[in-house]
Amino acid sequence: MGGDPSRRNQNLYCTYHRDKGHTTEQCQVLKDHLGQLVKAEHLKEFVLDSRDRERLIAGRRKGVLTIVPVKSCSGVQPPEKKIRSAREPITFDGDDFEGKIQLHDDALVVTTRISGFLVKRVMVDQGSGADVMYLDLFRGLGLKKEDLAKYSSPLVGFNGKVVIPEWQISLPVIMRGKEVVVTFTIVTSFSLYTAILGRSWIHSMEAVPSTLHIKIKFPTE
C-alpha cells in the first residue's frame, strides 16, 4: 500500500495487506490476485455454473470478485486420487546370478526365525497353498500339543500321496526384520526340509521369489 499512511482512513482495515486505509472487500490488489488464480485454474475446488459465471462477470465490472463454493451433485463426491507408492519396484537382473551355478534346478531354501528360533532348511514354494511345519521342527521348537488347534483338510505331498494332518499352529515368522504371523499345518511325514512357506506367507510379505536366482525379495521399512 503506497501513499502517506497518516492520510488513510484509520477505521478501515485490510487483512490481505495487514494495514489500514481500506477494507479487504475493497482491496483491488487482492481482487486482481484472485482473478489471476481463477484464470490460471489454481482454484479448481471452486465450481461455477452458468448463473454463477454471470454473477462473477457482473461483479468484476462493479469491482467486486465473487467466488462460489463447490456444489455437490446428488451427494456424489469427486473420486479420490490414488497416491502412488514411492516404493522401488522389485526386479532381478544379472547381478543376482553372482555366486550361482547355472543352469540348475535347485529349490529356493532359506533360513528364517520362527517363534524366536533361527530355523534352517525352510523351503519357499509358490506352488504350495499351505504353510507346512514338519514334526521334527515342531519338537525342536519345544512346542506342546496344548499349543495346537484342530485341522482336518487333506494335503497332497511331493510324492503325490494325500496326507490328512490333524493339527495346526500360528507362530511369528521373521525374515530380515519383517514379521508375519503364519498358520502352519503340522505334518508328521519325513522331509528334507524343516518347513515350507507357501503362497499365504509369500503374499503377506509382498514377496517375489525367484528359483532361477535362488533369491527372494520383499519390501521393508
Of 198, 167, 179, 184, nearest to 116 (Cα)?
179
Q: What is the pLDDT of residue 47?
A: 47
The β-bridge partners of 178 are: 175
Nearest alpha carbon to residue 195 among 105, 106, 130: 130
Residues 163, 109, single domain; the answer is: yes
- Residue 169 forms beta bridges with which residues? 184
Same domain, 104 and 166: yes
Residue at 80 is within a domain: no
**Whether the Cβ atoms of residue 112 and residue 119 lie closer than 8 Å to each other:** yes
Specify the pLDDT at position 188. 85
The residue out of 61, 76, 107 marking a domain boundary is 61
Number of domain units in the chain: 2
**Nearest-angstrom CA–CA distance, 58 and 25:** 16
Same domain, 33 and 102: no
The cell numbers describing 173, all together, are 515368522
Domain residues for the domain of 173 are: 95-217
**CA angle centred on 64, ends 62 and 67, rounded to 5°:** 135
Could you give phi then psi for residue 165, rounded to 5 degrees? -75, 160
| pTM of the predicted model as reported, rounded to 2 decimal places | 0.56
Q: What is the mean pLDDT of each run of 10 residues along the chain (221 residues)?
A: 66 74 76 74 58 57 50 54 69 87 88 95 93 92 88 69 81 94 90 94 95 92 82
In a domain, 38, yes or no: yes
Last residue of a domain, one of 17, 40, 61: 61
**pLDDT reported for residue 207:** 95
Range 171-198 burial, b when 16+ CB lie within 10 A, else e: bebebeeeebebebbbbeeebebbbbbb
**Residue 192 sits in the same domain as residue 123:** yes
Per this entry, what is the length of the chain?
A: 221
Distance CA 42, CA 59 (A): 20
